């Protein structure tokens, strides 16, 4: 449904909304390349969904343009936080409804604590259904984003204390029931980066102390029953016993197999395989002695594998430009550290940043906190 509105918006506003900023042009190059190779890949495997998914990634690019031209930026950010609170409450409702004493990370916690990011409305039954696959990493990163936006707004007196404390509470509970190591890593990177930030504000100190004490107390009292603790203990035990962990080893095997594949098929260093997990797996599986997955879970490898050299070069340039822009233009410095955290985690553990939920929000927040300022400085007229 959101894609339909995006498509109509593109028709109404025209093609220029794709090309207003350097960041948009790079995204357009990246996903146009993937779309092209997805079409070419139909020769090897009939997977029309890869074409649709590639095209859908293009539809989100104008969000950056629209966000940069919104007049009341902080009001939109506040609404983003309010919607985030509703999403966090809904996720708690799902979790409580499906909770049982046997509900550990082995019996469904990964899918239970994923918000609406892995659910869809089935028109035939008029019911919410759970989609195949796990989305806890995507959901966890979204929770961190909402939390950081709320911290930034409150520190600049854009939201009141009641809303801020509500976000802190809902975020803390959702993090505890999550099994997202990605979200925990992003949050850790933000906090460590904050320690190096000059002229730290007292509110940040309060938030850090509150979250740290709350986490320690929760682990002390209910450690064995908390999904996030169960996941961390499992990871630590696996690394201690085997030197690695199952999901991590799968990623390493997949990357190694892919690089061996392009080493023996140099044409695929320049050309991509298209956005088809089946096509990727069919080409790479013969180059690994261990088990692999059908998705290269690294943003850089993802772009190289699906879109070829042009896409991988574009994403490196995009990361560099985005970091410089956020560092110099955004008054919300914590959001800068969030983007840094999502960059680091997506280079080594996932590609959640290009999932529908997170990709749309990243485009929106980036347009609001970075390019909105740039647009204002040029003396242009806002919309909305």
Tens-place pLDDT, residues 330-364:
778 788 888 888 888 888 777 888 888 899 999 99
Q: Regarding predicted confidence, which is higher, 9 or 151?
A: 151
Q: State yes or no: pLDDT of 98 exceeds 50.
A: yes
Say what the pLDDT of residue 381 is. Answer: 47
Q: Regarding predicted confidence, which is higher, 216 or 148?
A: 148
Query: DSSP state, 129?
Result: E
The residues near 379 (Cβ < 8 Å, ≥ 6 apart) are none
Q: State yes or no: pLDDT of 200 exceeds 70.
A: no
Would you state the structure tokens that stand for residue 378, as one six-digit string?
């040029």
- pLDDT band at residue 384 using 50, 70 and 90 as cut-offs: very low
The residues near 375 (Cβ < 8 Å, ≥ 6 apart) are 68, 69, 382
Q: What is the mean pLDDT of residues 79-91?
A: 92
- Cβ-count burial of 60 within 10 angstroms (0-12 exposed, 13-18 middle, 19+ buried)? buried
Q: Regarding predicted confidence, which is higher, 16 or 310?
A: 310
Say what the pLDDT of residue 270 is. Answer: 93
Average pLDDT of the chain is 78
Lowest mean pLDDT among 73-82, 291-300, 303-312: 291-300
Would you state the structure tokens that stand for residue 235, as one six-digit string?
């990871």
Phi (first) and psi of residue 21, to 5 degrees: -130, 155
Would you state the structure tokens that stand for residue 224, as one six-digit string?
């064995």
Say what the pLDDT of residue 264 is. Answer: 92
Tell me if 340 sits within 8 A of 33, measured CB to CB.
no
Rank 92-101, 195-204, 221-230 by mean pLDDT and report only the highest: 92-101
Say what the pLDDT of residue 302 is. Answer: 93
Lowest mean pLDDT among 72-86, 169-183, 317-331, 360-374: 169-183
Instruction: Using the structure block, give the residue that is written with the tokens 């939201």.
Output: 159
* Number of helices (H), then strands (E), in the chain: 18, 2
Q: pLDDT tens digits, residue range 221-261?
A: 655 566 666 666 555 555 455 545 557 778 888 898 999 99
- pLDDT band at residue 19 using 50, 70 and 90 as cut-offs: confident
Q: What is the mean pLDDT of residues 273-291?
A: 88
Q: What is the mean pLDDT of residues 11-24?
A: 77
Say what the pLDDT of residue 120 is. Answer: 63
């Amino acid at each position: 449904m959101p894609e339909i509105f995006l498509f109509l918006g593109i028709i109404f506003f025209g093609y220029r909304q794709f090309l207003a900023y350097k960041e948009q042009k790079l995204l357009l190059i990246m996903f146009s390349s993937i779309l092209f190779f997805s079409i070419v890949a139909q020769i090897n495997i009939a997977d029309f969904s890869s074409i649709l998914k590639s095209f859908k990634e293009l539809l989100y690019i104008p969000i950056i343009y629209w966000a940069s031209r919104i007049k009341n930026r902080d009001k939109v950010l506040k609404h983003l936080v309010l919607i985030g609170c509703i999403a966090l409450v809904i996720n708690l409702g799902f979790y409580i409804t499906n909770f049982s004493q046997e509900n550990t990370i082995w019996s469904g916690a990964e899918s239970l604590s994923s918000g609406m990011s892995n659910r869809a409305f089935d028109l035939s039954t008029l019911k919410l259904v759970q989609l195949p696959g796990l989305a806890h990493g995507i959901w966890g990163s979204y929770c961190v984003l909402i939390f950081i936006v709320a911290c930034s707004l409150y520190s600049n007196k854009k939201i009141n204390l009641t809303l801020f404390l509500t976000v802190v509470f809902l975020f803390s509970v959702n993090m505890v029931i999550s099994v997202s190591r990605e979200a925990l890593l992003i949050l850790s990177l933000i906090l460590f980066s904050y320690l190096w930030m000059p002229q730290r504000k007292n509110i940040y100190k309060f938030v850090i102390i509150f979250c740290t004490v709350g986490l320690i107390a929760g682990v002390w009292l209910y450690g064995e029953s908390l999904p996030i603790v169960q996941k961390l203990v499992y990871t630590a035990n696996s690394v201690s016993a085997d030197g690695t962990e199952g999901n991590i080893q799968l990623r390493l095997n997949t990357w190694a197999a892919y690089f061996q594949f392009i080493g023996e098929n140099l044409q695929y260093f320049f050309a991509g395989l298209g956005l088809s997990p089946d096509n990727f797996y069919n080409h790479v599986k013969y180059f690994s002695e261990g088990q692999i997955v059908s998705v290269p879970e690294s943003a850089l490898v993802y772009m190289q594998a699906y879109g070829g050299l042009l896409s991988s070069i574009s994403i490196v340039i995009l990361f560099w430009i985005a970091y410089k822009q956020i560092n110099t233009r955004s008054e919300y410095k914590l959001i800068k550290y969030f983007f840094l955290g999502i960059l680091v985690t997506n280079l080594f553990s996932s590609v959640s940043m290009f999932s529908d939920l997170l990709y749309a929000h990243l485009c929106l927040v980036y347009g609001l906190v970075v390019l909105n300022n740039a647009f204002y400085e040029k003396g242009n007229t806002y919309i909305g």
